Amino acid sequence: MLYDQGCILASTAGPFTIGRRLLTGALAASLLAAPATAQQVPQRVAPPPVVPTVPAQPSMALPELTDAQAEQLAVLLDKDSVAQGLRADSAPHATKLDRDALVGAALDHAKAVHAGRLDTADFQLQWGIRPQAYDPRPGFIDALKRDRLAAWIASLPPPYAGYDALAAGLARYHGIADAGGWTALSAGPELKLGSSGKQVLALRQRLAIEDPQLDVKGDKFDTALSEAVSRAQRRYGLNPAGVVGSQTIAALNVPVEARIRQIMANMERWRWLPAQIEKNRVQVNIAAAVLTVFDGDAPVMSMKAVTGRPGDETPMLVSRIHSVVLNPPWNVPSSIANRELWPKEKKKPGYLKANGFRIIDTGDGGKRLQQSSEKSALGKFKFDFDNQFAVYLHDTPAQAGFSRFDRLASHGCVRLEKPADLAKLLMRTTPEWTPAAIDATIADGKTVRAKLADQVAVYLLYWTAFANANGVVSFRDDPYKWDGTLASKIEARSATQALAAR
């Protein structure tokens, strides 16, 4: 019997710290989650012009706004708060503000768009990515002096094509909402090729709202409709069989307003990323359970993964893979041993020995378990990178899990569908570790730590909504309920700031 191949998060790790973030209630927006391939994060090909900044001084005085500047700024902020997902509705908010309040709103808007809306204390432990400190005052002052407010506003968002694509998708879904959204489909028998009737017509009309390739007319379930169903199922992370059952109906019935808030939640997480993303990197979408390797900002390898189940969440983090352990033993976390393995040994004596576990004295009166490399739950490859959660990427002898579309089943680590391919790709610049040498070491069975000549950046990211360059948005379930948690924290931060401003 193979034991669960995951690992568990370290509970003693301390939080990161960053500079304090400010937030006003006017900029907070509620976010939800709802039930689509790995998200790419290349830099923009042509980022908007960035207004030059200088180091901020504590006494830096903000200049007075002219009438024209005040009017322009009010319009820009109102429009951009919708475009950047700071407000759930797209209706104009014509609010009269005095000059001081307008300046404050501009600075708060800049912080929210550039670095997110949370304070340090709002981040929970597993959200192991923090936005960089950011002071908007120098850029704002320079923009006022040079009359370049529009360029300054345009320079604020994260400089990534993935963010831009989500922003385009957000605009598209706002348009759908403004047009009335969609009507929920009623439950009924499975719909497939050959079906016909009112249910099929309703399905076709619903799909056509998000899929312009589909003709809205017709009550026949033909090949074109089947292909549209498959496209929708891929966007939602479902089995693209082209047959409509309860899962597909549930995904199609998520209200457009919830989809908008889901996009907004993911745009917020984009703002936490570093100012520069390494062009050569390994990237995991935790919610979609997919790993992608980028070389020169282009995807060169992709594979299925198994990520942490709810309760044993895979954390968001940024690190660097520094070594690959070949034929790794498994040093079992005490929490897993106490919760699952020791009870199995008690119930069935000999279980541990039969599954390759040995008991090791810790030297302080305690005992820990280690599973031999021959039977290791980590398989033949373990990819190590420094992090406070004690998680890593690894192989697994249990391949059946990769055939599932819902692949959140580990204790927090990330299991890989094709670890040998990844190891050979990452070690291609390490002369002594040729593919033949890797294969020979694996066949020998000896545990060896292979240090990479060139460390490779690794990003574990939580995307429940992501879009392609055309603004076509894919969605995933929010398995950890982090979208909803994020919404609550933003709302609480907004309320706190609103009270402080009174």
Domain hosting residue 100, numbered range: 67-167+491-501
Q: Are residues 413 and 317 in the same domain?
A: yes
Mean pLDDT of the chain: 86
Cα–Cα distances in angstroms (integers) from residue 352 to residues 22, 371, 459, 465, in the given order:
53, 9, 35, 42
Confidence of residue 56 (pLDDT cuts 50, 70, 90): very low
User: pLDDT tens for residues 441-475?
Assistant: 999 999 999 999 999 999 999 999 999 888 799 99
Structural element, H or E, at residue 195: none
Please check whether residue 296 lies inside any domain of the structure: yes
413 is catalytic: yes
Average pLDDT, stretch 30-42? Answer: 39
153 and 298 both lie in a single domain:
no
pLDDT exceeds cutoff 70 at 321: yes
Q: 403: domain CATH number?
A: 2.40.440.10
In the chain, what is the straight-line distance between the N-terminal and C-terminal CA atoms, in Å?
A: 62
pLDDT digits (tens, 9 = 90+) for 249-261: 999 999 999 999 9
451 shares a domain with 323: yes
Return the percentage of the chain with pLDDT > 90, whole number: 68
Helix/strand/coil for 172: helix
Kindly indicate the confidence band of residue 94, based on its pLDDT and cuts at 50, 70 and 90. low
Residues 234 and 283 in one domain: no
Q: Is 7 a catalytic residue?
A: no
130 and 93 share one domain: yes
Pairing mode of beta strands 393-394, 414-416? parallel
Exactly one of 109, 114, 174, 394 is catalytic; name it.
394
Query: Do 88 and 224 have their domain in common?
Result: no
Given the residues 7, 174, 411, 413, the one annotated as active site: 413
- Judge contact between 281 and 294, C-beta under 8 A: yes
pLDDT of residue 496: 72
At residue 283, the 3 state secondary structure works out as: strand
Res. 60 pLDDT band, cuts 50 70 90: low
Dist. CA 187–CA 189, nearest whole Å: 7
The predicted model gives 84-95 an average pLDDT of: 82
Are 220 and 292 in the same domain? no
Task: With cut-offs at 50, 70 and 90, classify the pLDDT of residue 356.
Answer: confident
Q: Are 306 and 415 in contact (CB under 8 A)?
A: yes
User: Which is more confidently placed, 271 or 12?
Assistant: 271
pLDDT tens figures, 104-137: 999 999 999 999 999 999 999 999 999 999 999 9
* E-only strand ranges, 146-275: none
Phi then psi for residue 484, to 5 deg, are -65, -40
User: pTM score, two decimals?
Assistant: 0.84
Judge whether 419 lies within some domain: yes
Same domain, yes or no: 108 and 219: no
User: Region 360-368: what's the mean pLDDT?
Assistant: 83
Which pLDDT score, from 0 to 100, does residue 142 have? 95
pLDDT band at 45 (very low <50, low <70, confident <90, very high): very low
Sequence-distant (≥ 6) Cβ neighbours of residue 274 within 8 angstroms: 132, 318
Torsion of CA 336, 463, 305, 192, to 10 degrees: 120
| Amino acid 26: pLDDT | 29
Task: Specify the pLDDT at position 95.
Answer: 65
Q: pLDDT category, 46, cuts 50, 70, 90? A: very low
Asked whether the predicted pLDDT for residue 435 surpasses 60, the reply is yes
| 290-326: burial string, b at 16+ Cβ within 10 Å, e else | bbbbbeebeeeeebbbbbbbeebbbbbbbbbbbbbbb
Q: Tell me, what DSSP letter sits at residue 332? A: -
Q: Specify whether the CB–CB gap between 334 and 368 falls below 8 A.
A: yes
Residue 29: what pLDDT? 30
Higher pLDDT: 49 or 304? It is: 304
Mean pLDDT of the region 11-37: 29
Q: Residue 347: is it exposed, middle or buried by C-beta count within 10 angstroms (0-12/13-18/19+)?
A: exposed
Q: For position 232, what pLDDT does the model report?
A: 98
Query: Is 345 among the domain residues?
Result: no
324 shares a domain with 225:
no
The H or E element containing residue 56 is none
Q: What integer pLDDT is reported at residue 17 of this predicted model?
A: 24
Report how many domains make up the chain: 3
Which residues are CB-contacts of 125 (< 8 A; sequence separation ≥ 6)? 9, 13, 15, 315
Question: What are 135-174's pLDDT values in tens digits?
Answer: 999 999 999 999 999 999 999 999 999 999 999 999 999 9
353-375 average pLDDT score: 82
Question: Are 241 and 92 in the same domain?
Answer: no
pLDDT average, residue stretch 308-337: 92
